Structure 1
C-alpha cells in the first residue's frame, strides 16, 4: 500500500482549503500533505492535494495555469471584492450595455499586471495582508506580473456577468472582476467562484470529500504521470531507477532541459535536469 500520491478534491463552498486538509488527515491518518493553491471559503472547485513524498512536487503544480468560472455583479463594491465582504459603495449600471461588455475581451486579454487584493493571504512584513486590513491598516502590496491566457463571457444578465478565465499563477479573480467593473466605469464584485481546472486536470475528475473514507482513499489516488503530462518526460530502466533514487548522475540521450519528468515503468520518480547529456536528479520522491 502506498502512502504517497495525489488526490483531486472538489472543494465545496463554505469551508477553507485547510479544512479539506484537516478532514483528509483524519481519513488517511497521514499528516504530511498540502494543497497546491488556496481557494477562499466562498469558492468551490478543484484542489490538488499532495500526500507524503508527493509534497516535494507541490511547486511544479502550483506554477501551472488555472481556469475559473466566475459570476460578478456590477454596481456593487465590497471591502473584500466578493460577496463575503461589507458593501462600501454602489453605482447605477443602467448605462452599461451588453455589447459594451462583450467588446472588453481583447482589453482583458492584454492585462499583464495586477495588485493583489488587500484582503489576501500575501504576507506584508511577516503578517498576512487580510489581517492588517481587518485591523484598519492599509497593507502596501506591490504589482505582480500575470497573464490572462483565455477569456470569454459565458452569460450576461445584468447586473450579473458570468465569465470563464484561464490565468497564470498568482492571478486574483476578485481583482479581475473589479478591473472589469472599472473598464465599464462602474464597480464589480465577485459573487460566485469555481476553479474548473489546474493545467490539464479538470474538476470533473475530482472526488467529493464525503465519498472518501479510510478504506477507499488509496483507490482514488490520481496518477502522477497525468498531473505532469505537460512536462518533457524520459523513461529510465530499473537499474537507473536506483541510481536516480540515490541522487547519482545518469548519462542520457536527451536535449538540455531544466524540468524533466523522470519515470520508470510508467511511475513518476521525480524531476531532473539535463545538461550536455548528463541527467542530474533535482526532486526525488522514491
Structure 2
C-alpha cells in the first residue's frame, strides 16, 4: 500500500490517534505517519502517508496551509488557547471591526512570531511543551514565518475569526494573540480548522468514522499529486530496473513531459526530475546531472 490519505481530523483526537486508527485498519506491518500535526482542539485536513509515502513528508511541508481560527477577546492562557488556565483581561471599549481590519496588513508577508510556550518547538533537545508541563521557565525566540493571506471573516466585541494561508512553522494561536495585543487586549484560540494543505482540501477529505480497508483503498491518492510542478520522465522497463538498483540512466528526450530538461546543467543546482512508468505510477525522485538521472528516492512497484 502506497499513497496519501486526506482525512478530516475530529476535535478531541490527537494526530497520533488518527494515525493509529489507520494503522489498525491497514495492518501494523504497513508504515503510516502524518504530515503536519494538529492539536486535539483542531479539526480539518490531516494527511496520513502510507507505506513508502512516509518518505515524502518533507515535500508536503513545502506547501502552504490554510486555516480558519476562532479567538475569544479578553482572555489569556499559558497555552494561548482554551486548553490552558484562563485569565480575564479588559477589552477596550473602542475595539471595533475596523480596528482589527486596520491591523491585519502588519501581519502579512514575512513576519516575526514567538511560538506558544506549549508548542512542539525544540529547546535544548526537548519539546517546549514538555519543559512547560514540568513547570520550567521556557523562553522562545521569535522566528520568521510567512503569512500569504489574512482575512477577518467574523467579528463581534467578544470574538473574531481569522481566515489565513501561511507557510510551514506558523502558529495560528500566536497570530491571534499578537493581533489582539496590538488592539490593546488579549485573545485565546477557541477553535481551529485546517481547510487545506496545498492541493489537499477539506472538501475532498474523508471522515475518520468512514474508514475501513475498502474506503482507504478507494481514497488513497497517488503521491504524484505532490509533484505537479516538477518535470516528468517516463522510463521504460530497462531504465526502471536500473533506477531501482540505484543506477543512473541517460535521458531520452522523448521521455520528458512538463518542464522538459530545464535543469540539464547538473551540479549543485541540478533540478529534480520525477520518474514515472508507462502506466503513470511514481518510480523515483531523481536529480538531473548533465543529462543523467541520478536516483535520490526510489519507490516500490505497485502491488
Instruction: Give the equivalent residue in structure 1 for 2:262.
Output: 255
- 1:54-65 maps to which residues of 2 (within 5 A)? 54-65=53-64
Alignment partner of 1:13 out of 5, 11, 14: 11
Are 2:169 and 1:170 equivalent residues in the alignment? yes
Instruction: Supply the distance in 2 between the matched residues of 1:101 and 1:258 (Cα, whole angstroms).
Output: 43
Structure 2 matches for 1:222-237, cutoff 5 A? 222-237=221-236
2:25 aligned with 1:27:
yes
- Name the SS for the 2:206 alignment partner: coil
Give the secondary structure class of the aligned counterpart of 2:218. helix
Change in 2 beyond 3 A, CA 1:179/1:266: same
Shift of 1:111: 4.3
Q: Give the 3-state SS of the residue equivalent to 1:59 in structure 2.
A: helix
In 2, the alpha carbon distance for the partners of 1:156 and 1:232 equals 45
Relative to structure 1, is the Cα distance of residues 52 and 184 closer, same or farther in structure 2, using a 3 angstrom cutoff? same
Mean Cα displacement is larger for which, 4-13 or 274-283?
274-283
2 CA distance for matches of 1:270 and 1:144? 34
Q: 1:277: which partner in 2?
A: 291
- CA distance in 1 between counterparts of 2:183 and 2:199 reads 32
- SS of 1:189's partner is strand
Tell me if 1:146 matches 2:145: yes
Distance 2:5 2:170 in 1: 24
Q: Report the secondary structure of 2:213's partner residue.
A: coil
SS at match of 1:146: strand
- CA-based RMSD of the aligned residues comes to 1.7
- State whether residues 91 and 184 of structure 2, in contact with CA within 8 Å, keep that contact through their aligned partners in structure 1: no
Matched, 1:87 2:100: no
Three-state SS of the structure 1 residue aligned to 2:132 is helix
8 A contact 2:19–2:34 mirrored in 1: yes
Mapped to 1, the partners of 2:143 and 2:229 lie a distance apart of 25
Q: Deviations over 1:137-158 (max 9, x none)?
A: 1223233221001111112223
**Structure 1 outlier segments of 4+, above 6 Å:** none
Deviation readout 1:111-149 (Å, 9 max, x if unpaired): 422222110122222222111112221223233221001
Distance 2:272 2:195 in 1: 26
CA–CA distance in structure 2, aligned partners of residues 9 and 226 of structure 1: 16
Q: Classify 1:134/1:225 alpha carbon distance in 2 versus 1 (closer, same or farther; 3 Å).
A: same
Looking at structure 2, the residues matched to 236 and 35 of structure 1 have their Cα atoms a distance apart, in angstroms, of 30
Aligned partners of 1:110 and 1:4: how far apart in 2? 36
Count residues with an aligned counterpart. Answer: 284
TM-score (ref. length: structure 1): 0.93
TM-score (norm. length: structure 2): 0.88
Q: Hey, what's the Cα distance between the residues in 2 that align with 1:99 and 1:37?
A: 33
Cα offset for 1:37? 0.6
Instruction: Give the unaligned 5+ runs of structure 2.
Output: 254-260, 264-269
